[in-house]
Chain A
Amino acid sequence: MNLLKKLIAVLALVPALALAEGYQLDHAPDQSKDLASLQRGAKLFVNYCLNCHAASSMRYNRLRDIGLNEDEVKTNLLFTTDKVGDLMTISMNPKDAKQWFGVTPPDLSVIARAKASEEGSGTDWLYTYLRAFYKDDSRPTGWNNMVFPNVGMPHVFWELQGTQKPVYVKSTEGEGKDAKEESKFDHFELIKPGKMSKQEYDVAVADLVSYLDWMSEPTRNLRQQLGVWVLLFLGVLVVLTWRLNASYWKDIK
Chain B
Amino acid sequence: MAAHGKKERMFERLTVSQRIQHVVLFVSTSLLIITGFMLMGERWAIDMFGSAGDSIFYWRGIIHRVAGVAVTVVCIYHIGYVFISKEGRSWILDMLPNLKDGSDAVQNVRYMLGFRKDRPAMDRFTYLEKLEYFSVWFGMFIVIVTGTMMWTEQYWPKFYLDVADAFHLGEATLAALAIIVGHIFSVHYNPHVYPMNKAFIDGKISESLMKEEHPLWLERELAKLEEENENAPEGKQEDA
Decide whether A and B are members of one complex.
no
Interface residues of A (CB under 8 A from B): none
